Every structure is written in structure tokens, then in C-alpha cells.
Copies of this chain bind each other. A is one copy, B any other.
Amino acid sequence: MTDKKKKKPTSFDVARLANVHRSAVSRALSGSGRVSEDTRKRVIQAAQELGYRVNFLARGLQNQNSGLVGLVASRLDTPYRASQVKVAARELLAKGYCPILIVAEGDVTLSGLIDRLLNYSVSGMIVTSDSPPAEIIEECKRLSVPVVLINRDLREVAADRVQLDIQASGQLAFDMLREAGGRRFAVLDPSQETFTVTGRARAFATCCHSAGMPAEVITPVGQNYADGLEAADLFMAAKCEADAVFCSTDLLALGFLDGMRVKYGRRLPEDIQILGYDDIEQAGWLGNNLSTICQDAGAAAMLAVDLLQARIEDGSRPFECATIPITPVHRATTRKITT
């Protein structure tokens, strides 16, 4: 006969059953504090029997720290972000934290949501959003809530961060396209600016310029598939003659790719070469086979979680900035390099 509608057992009940004091129960179950092997066993046993579970709200209230971690992410339905969030959540969970997911759509609402997060005495926050207002980050610092920023602007307040090397990204893109025989370059640089996306597009353009081969700039609105499609129209309308285009995002690249080959009958890489960025799963699909630059979403997420944990454990350590590794991925939308 299991206790149906009984109230949840408290540490007090466990204590009574195990014939010890509540504090002994706490010590035995929270791991901290010394307890005799005997008591520990009796407590565990009693807890088991009663189906007791520690109330984390009470514990958090006492410790001023809930074990909850805010995970702020925009564009969650995007392949890159989805896998990043997945890994971050998994790692957080593995380390004993509980991720509260805040999905951002338009900054308007976001600050209210993060505000709510702060009410829970979160132990920390990982921000992977494109653009959470800086004031919010400030607010966190004020409340001394550790924050780890993924790919956010450098000028931000002091905080641990994980980001990719923007200059190196633009350079790598240029090198890949150049080595594949590109002569006339173009780049897709969304008008909705984003720190890393805009950054690498500009860096690429700069490299082209420095090499004496200025790139034409196509400006779709956003950085999604549909925008890539739009970019193809823009490209044609402008009678752009580039033979090698760097799309600052895989989604953009895939849209542009489809536009060029399906809508405008271009062959790849013969008529035009396309290079993406991110290496999302779809880039590797047989029908796309997109050459790209891989920035490992999972690695970035894990770095972020590690940094956060380190800071939670030692709030006074110096701020760190981890770099996301990038690697070239040669597939079928760029020519084979003749060695």
C-alpha cells in the first residue's frame, strides 16, 4: 500500500525513521559534512523507504544558489543553434546543473525574461543569443551572477567568453576560395547585423581588397535559407560576375546554392563556386555537398559550460576567452585544389 495522497516526506520524517536528527540527514545526503558510515547507511535506507527527495528550493534558499543555470538562445529552430543548445544542456545536466531555457525572439521581450530568470537565484547564465541587450548582462554582473558569452561582441562588459576568431575566419574563407581558383569574389553580408556573421563577411571583404581583388557585396536581409534565395535574385539582378562567393552562413549558402542551380541553372563548381560557414548537418547532405568552414557548435557549448563551472566554483579567477576551433571542409561546391 503506497502512500497515495500523503504529503511529501521531509528530512524530518527521514530523521525520525532513521533515529537521527534532521541535520544528520542533511549531512548524509548533501555529501558535505562528516557522518559515520552507520548513520549514512541508515539515512539512505530510510530515505529510500520513504521515497524522500531533497527539496532543492529549500536548499537553494539556504545556499543562495539554486543549481539552476539560464541558457539564453535565439533562433533555436536553426540547425546550428539547436545542436549547440542540445550540447550545452546535456553538459550542464551532466555537471549537476539544471538549464532553464530562455528563447529570445526580438529583444523587446528578452530583457523581461532574463529578469525573471534572476528571480530564481540562478547559479549562472550562458548567453548564445545574437543580441541580448548589454544592460541585461550588466544587471547580471551587478547581482554577481556569472555569465558566459558565446560569440558576443568584444566590447561587452568583463565576462568569460567563447568566440571564434573573426579575422582568421575571413582569411580562411578567402584562402579556400582563392586556392580553388576563384578570380572574382562576392560575399553575402546580411543587413541585419550580427557580431560574428557580419564580422567574418567584412573580414573576407578586407582580405579580398588587400589582395587587390575587391569583393562585390550582396546584402540580403537576414541569415537564413530564404535570405540566401533572395541573395541569388539580388546577385542576378546586379549582373554580378563573381565566380566565387562566400556566404557568411551555411543557411545562406544553401539558399543561394538552390537559387543559383535550381532557379538560374548554374552548375557548381564549374559556373560558380560557393563557400558556406558553420558546417551544419544539411551542408553535408548528398544533394547539397556544400564546401564550408566548420565551427564546432558542440565544442563551443562545452567550452562555455566548462568556463561557467570554473567561474561558479571560483568567482575571482581571471576572465577567460576561449576560441572555437575552425576547420576547412572541402566538398563539391568548390573546385578540387590541384596539388
Interface residues of A (CB under 8 A from B): 2, 5, 8, 51, 53-58, 60-61, 66, 68, 71, 76-79, 82-83, 85-86, 89-90, 93, 98-103, 105, 113, 115-121, 142-144, 225, 229, 254-255, 257-259, 261-263, 281-282, 285-288
Q: How many copies does the complex hold?
A: 2
* Contact indicator B120/A229 (Cβ below 8 Å): no
A287 touches B286 (CB 8 A): no
Bound form: Cα–Cα A248–B281 in Å: 20
Residue in A117, A254, A287 whose Cβ sees the most chain B Cβ within 10 Å? A287
Q: Which residue of B lies closest to A94 (CB)?
A: B109
Contact yes or no, A254 B77, CB < 8 A = no
**A258 engages B287 (CB within 8 Å):** yes
CA distance A310 to B167 in the complex (A): 52
Known: A117-B98, A258-B286. A86 touches B76 (CB 8 A): yes
Q: Besides A56-B121, A76-B83, A261-B287, 12 other CB < 8 A contacts?
A: A53-B115, A54-B119, A55-B119, A68-B100, A77-B281, A78-B82, A79-B82, A85-B101, A90-B103, A93-B116, A100-B100, A262-B286
Known: A225-B281, A287-B257, A288-B287. A86 touches B57 (CB 8 A): no
